[in-house]
C-alpha cells in the first residue's frame, strides 16, 4: 500500500482514508490488529508521527482502539450504539448551535421521529417501557419539583417512548435531536400551568400506546410539538429582549 506524496492532501488524511476504506469494505474485520505504527510507516513510506496522526483521526471516529504494551497495537473497533450516540449528539448539537438549523426545524424533526416511534411502540406495547412512562408522569406531577428535575423526567419519558419502538437505529438518531435541544429546554421555566398541560399530553400519549391507538398518540405528540415550540419561542424572545 502506498500513498501519493504529491497530492495536495495531507498524508495523514490519505492514510486515514485508506485504512477507513479497508475497514468499511470489510477487508479489516472487527478486532483485527493493524500492523504496528512502525510497520505502517514502512508500508506507506512515511514517518511514524504521520502514521500516528492518521490513527488518531480514526480513533476520533471510534473506528479503532489502541492498546499499549507487548501485545498491544491498534485494533479495528466494533462500533457500539453508545459510540454512535456520542457522535450523533456532537454533530447535532453543533448543527443547532452554529445556527445551521433553527430550533423549530430541529423540533419538527424530533417530533416527526417520535411520532414514527410512537406508532411502532403502540404496536409492540412493551410493559416495562409503559411502566417507565407512567412512573415519569407521576414524578412530573409532584409539587416542589425543580425545573431541572422536571426537564430530566421529561427526557426520561420520551426516551421510554422511543425505546418502546425497539429499534436501536431510531433510538440513536433521536438521541441527537433530543440532546441538541436540551440546552434550550433547560432554560425554560415551567409554570404550574404549563406542567399541567404537558402532563396531560403525556398521559394521553401513554394511554394511546397502552390501548394501541397510534393515531391518538400521533395527535397528542403534534400538540406537544406545538406547545414546546411556543414555550421555546417565549424563551428565545425573552433572551433577545434582555440582550437589547
Partner DNA sequence: AGGTTTTTAAATGTCTTACAATTAAAAAGG
Partner DNA sequence: CCTTTTTAATTGTAAGACATTTAAAAACCT
Among the listed residues 44, 57, 160, 217, the single contact to a second copy using CB under 8 A: 57
As measured in angstroms, the least distance from the Cβ of 91 to DNA is 22
Alpha-carbon span 154 to 209, nearest angstrom:
17
Residue 95 contacts a second copy per CB under 8 A: yes
Query: According to CB under 7 A, which one of 19, 23, 46, 232 is a site residue for DNA?
Result: 46
- Report what 27 binds from DNA, a second copy, none; CB cut-off 5-8 Å by kind: none
Instruction: Choose among a second copy, DNA, none what residue 105 binds, the Cβ cut-off being 5 to 8 Å by kind.
Output: a second copy
User: Any contact of residue 86 with DNA (CB under 7 A)?
Assistant: no
197 binds a second copy (CB under 8 A): no
- 121 makes contact, choosing from a second copy, DNA, none, with CB < 5 to 8 Å by partner type, with none
Q: Which of 157, 151, 117, 159 is nearest to 137 (CA)?
A: 157
Per the CB < 8 A criterion, the answer to whether 34 and 74 are in contact is yes
What are the CA-CA distances from residue 88 to residues 76, 85, 186 (Å)? 20, 5, 20
The site partner of 36 among DNA, a second copy, none (C-beta below 5 to 8 Å per kind) is: DNA
Interaction of residue 65 with a second copy, rule CB under 8 A: no
Assess contact for 20 and 58: CB atoms under 8 A: yes
How far is the CA of 205 from the CAs of 117, 167, 230, in angstroms? 12, 19, 19
Amino acid at each position: 500500500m502506498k500513498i501519493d506524496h504529491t497530492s495536495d492532501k495531507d498524508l495523514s488524511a490519505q492514510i486515514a482514508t485508506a485504512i477507513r476504506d479497508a475497514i468499511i469494505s470489510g477487508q479489516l474485520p472487527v478486532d483485527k490488529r493493524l500492523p504496528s505504527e512502525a510497520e505502517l510507516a514502512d508500508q506507506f513510506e512515511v514517518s511514524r508521527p504521520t502514521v500516528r496522526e492518521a490513527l488518531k483521526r480514526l480513533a476520533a471516529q471510534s473506528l479503532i482502539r489502541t492498546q499499549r504494551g507487548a501485545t498491544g497495537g491498534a485494533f479495528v473497533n466494533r462500533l457500539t450504539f453508545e459510540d454512535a450516540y456520542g457522535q450523533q449528539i456532537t454533530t447535532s448539537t453543533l448543527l443547532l448551535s452554529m445556527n445551521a438549523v433553527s430550533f423549530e426545524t430541529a423540533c419538527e424533526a424530533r417530533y416527526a421521529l417520535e411520532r414514527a416511534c410512537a406508532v411502532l411502540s403502540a404496536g409492540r406495547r412493551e410493559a416495562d417501557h409503559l411502566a417507565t412512562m407512567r412512573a415519569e408522569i407521576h414524578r412530573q406531577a409532584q409539587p416542589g419539583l425543580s425545573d431541572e428535575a422536571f426537564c430530566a423526567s421529561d427526557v426520561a419519558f420520551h426516551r421510554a417512548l422511543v425505546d418502546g419502538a425497539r429499534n436501536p437505529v431510531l433510538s440513536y438518531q433521536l438521541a441527537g435531536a433530543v440532546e441538541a435541544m436540551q440546552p434550550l429546554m433547560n432554560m425554560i421555566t415551567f409554570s404550574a400551568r404549563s406542567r399541567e398541560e404537558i402532563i396531560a399530553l403525556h398521559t394521553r400519549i401513554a394511554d394511546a400506546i397502552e390501548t394501541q391507538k397510534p393515531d391518538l398518540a400521533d395527535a397528542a405528540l403534534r400538540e406537544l410539538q406545538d406547545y414546546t415550540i411556543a414555550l421555546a419561542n417565549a424563551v428565545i424572545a425573552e433572551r433577545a429582549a434582555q440582550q437589547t
